Amino acid sequence: MKRTFLEVWDRLRGSYWLVPGAMALGAVVLAGAAIWSDLTWAEGLLADRMPWLVYNHPEGARALLTSIAGSMITVAGVTFSITIVAVAYVSSQLGPRVLDAFMRDRGNQATLGTFIATFIYCLLVLRTVRSPEEDGVGFVPEMAVLVAFFMALASVGVLIYFINHVLLSIHASHVIAAIGHDLEAKMEAIFPEPLDHHAGDDDDDEEAVRVPAALKEEGVALRARDAGYVTHIGQEDLVKLARDRDLVVEILVRPGAFVRVGTELLRVHPAGNADEKAKEEILEAVHVGRRRTQTQDVLFLVNELAERHLAYPVLFYFHSIERHTAIGPSIAVLDETLTVLDCCAPGVQMKSSSVVPVRAAITEFLDTLYKAFIAAAETPLPRPDVPGLRDLGIPMIEDDEVDEALEGLDGRRRLLRAMVEHDAWDWDEISRGAWTEGWAMELRDRARS
């Protein structure tokens, strides 16, 4: 239920239905209230006190309401045309990914809603105006006509605001600032508190490694039934289902990922605890839609910021000419160090509770850069200086085993090289001196202990 509400709300926010529709409904209510006031307590009140302000003749009231209604629907059409032109300009100059932010602009939606609401209000009031020749009495809703007059004046102000707003909103800096604001708000909503990773004992580390292996060997995979983008994952629902049925659920995809029919979405362990009803409920927690949304997909907003290289949020902003303060080379050396320890130094034991979050964070970072900024390097990274570490007394595997162990990480290491080169560094330059003698001595002592 919550997932459905979030999806509908996100779809409405990105359309021109919600705000104009709500304002049109408000115009219907306002017209009814104004006409009711003229029929009950306000009849003749304004004509007696301020005759210069009201239209108490049927012909004049009809002419005014007709003019306002005709003008409003014409201006609404012009406004819509200007919006389409602005959207076309933004998509051609800034890229199609920023269209979602432009469509969510409340100023554009409120402007269109103002003109439509004024048009509907005038039509509803116009049908109540009667001359004495029509029914022998006649009726002019003075209060309702006066409200229509002020709504027309307000619409003129809104039109001026809209023209100024469109000119500002198509500026690149404004678009980037709006997307950045949405990104901050979405990150606050998805990650309300900073993550705190506590290192566990050795038993916890062994369990953390053993359970994922059991999931792959003994678990049952739940596959996508439709092709599209993963728009929402009900993690709270999954936690509740897993707790109630004594299951471990592994999420294999993340919001924003494109899946085909048959793609593995989840893996459940043990398979014996998951009957068909449980599988159905678990699978319903992952929703696949036709387009990416920002409901849970933070990377979607990051990609919007990165469109046409209007922003380079990490490498350019944090660029440094000093090797020890440059973020790109530091990340590359850290990841290569973890690779050597994990694949090439069998005698070194590392706590998975400390290493896994770091490797996962680097993976997310590289994935973001790959999708938004860089392509994998054509030249693979050279083999780490395993012989040099072996000469320092650190037990390492043989060279042919090193090549075999690093074969599965070739794509990751090519991205590391591309990141370093995009930050104006040479890989040989930053790798030189990465393995300091003090670091090597500490590593050797840990391997012997």
Q: Is residue 69 part of a domain?
A: yes
Instruction: Specify whether 250 is located in the same domain as 146.
Output: no
Residue 396: how many CB atoms within 10 A of its CB? 22
Structural domain for 257, as ranges: 210-296
* Whole-angstrom distance, CA of residue 272 vs CA of residue 315: 48
pLDDT at 312: 42
> In which band, very low, low, confident or very high, does the pLDDT at 205 lie, cut at 50, 70 and 90?
very low
Mean pLDDT within 422-440: 64
Integer Cα distance of 307 and 105 in angstroms: 19
When the pLDDT of each residue in the chain is averaged and rounded to a whole number, the result is: 76
- Predicted local distance difference test score (pLDDT) of residue 211: 53
Of 110-124, 183-197, 282-296, give the lowest mean pLDDT range: 183-197
Residue 385 in domain: yes
Sheet containing 248-251: order of strands: 220-223, 264-269, 248-251
CB-based burial, 199-211: b 16+ in 10 Å, e otherwise? eeeeeebeeeeee
Residue 308 has pLDDT above 50, yes or no: no
Q: Helix or strand or coil: residue 397? A: coil
Q: Give the phi and the psi of residue 259 in degrees, each rounded to 5.
A: -125, 150
| Cα–Cα nearest to 149, from 121, 170, 189 | 121
Q: Do 25 and 138 fall into the same domain?
A: yes
CATH number reported for the structural domain that contains residue 219 in this entry: 3.90.1170.30
CA distance 156 to 150: 10
Angstrom distance (rounded) from CA 64 to CA 54: 11
Relative to beta strand 228-233, strand 258-259 is antiparallel
Residue 26 pLDDT more than 90?
yes
Q: How far apart are CA 53 and CA 148, in angstroms?
A: 12
pLDDT at position 33 is 92
**Same-domain check for residues 360 and 234:** no
pLDDT mean over 101-119: 87
**Residue 6's pLDDT is what?**
59
Which pLDDT does position 319 carry in this prediction?
60
**Is there a single domain that holds both residue 254 and residue 287?**
yes
Q: Could you tell me how far CA 281 lies from the centroid of its own chain?
A: 26
Strand 264-269, strand 248-251: pairing: antiparallel
Query: Could you report the per-residue pLDDT of 383-422, keeping only the tens digit for each?
Result: 787 777 777 777 778 878 888 888 888 888 888 888 888 7
Predicted confidence (pLDDT) per residue in 324-382, tens digit:
777 778 888 888 888 887 787 776 666 666 777 888 888 888 887 776 667 788 887 78
Tell me the percentage of the chain whose pLDDT exceeds 70. Answer: 70
Predicted confidence (pLDDT) at residue 311 exceeds the cutoff of 50: no
Mark whether 276 and 367 lie in a shared domain.
Answer: no
Q: Is residue 191 part of a domain?
A: no
pLDDT at 116 over 60: yes
Among the residue ranges 55-64, 107-116, 160-169, the one predicted with the least confidence is 55-64
* Residue 205 belongs to some domain of the structure: no
Domain limit, last residue, from 244, 267, 296: 296
284 shares a domain with 343: no
pLDDT for position 69: 93
For range 45-60, the mean pLDDT: 66
Give DSSP secondary structure letters for 136-149.
SS-B--HHHHHHHH
- 339/436: higher pLDDT: 339
Domain match, 21 and 156 both: yes
187 domain-assigned:
no
Percent over 90 (pLDDT), the chain: 13
pLDDT at 299 over 80: no
Residue 194 is predicted with a pLDDT of 56
Which residues are paired to 274 by β-bridges?
none
What distance in Å separates the CA atoms of residue 294 and residue 178, rounded to the nearest whole number?
14
Least confident of 50-59, 181-190, 207-216, 256-265: 207-216
- Structural domain ending residue among the three candidates 138, 170, 202: 170
Regarding whether 406 and 372 lie in a shared domain, the answer is: yes
112 and 219, same domain (yes or no): no
Residue 240 lies in a domain: yes
**How far is Cα 198 from Cα 32, in angstroms, rounded to an integer?**
62
Q: What is the pLDDT of residue 199?
A: 45
In the prediction, which pLDDT does 56 show?
A: 66
Mean pLDDT across 119-139: 84
Same domain, 27 and 130: yes
Q: Assess whether 316 and 432 both reside in one domain.
A: yes
Of 152, 170, 188, the residue that ends a domain is 170
Please indicate, yes or no, if residue 391 is contained in any of the structural domains: yes
The answer on pLDDT for 74 being more than 50 is yes
Selection from 65, 38, 207, 60 nearest residue 127 by Cα: 65
Total domains present in the chain: 3
pLDDT at 206: 47
Q: Tell whether 377 is covered by a domain.
A: yes
| 51, pLDDT greater than 90 | no
Same domain, 139 and 279: no
CA–CA separation, 151 and 36 (whole Å): 18
- Residues 168-177 have a mean pLDDT of 73
The H or E element spanning position 230 is strand 228-233
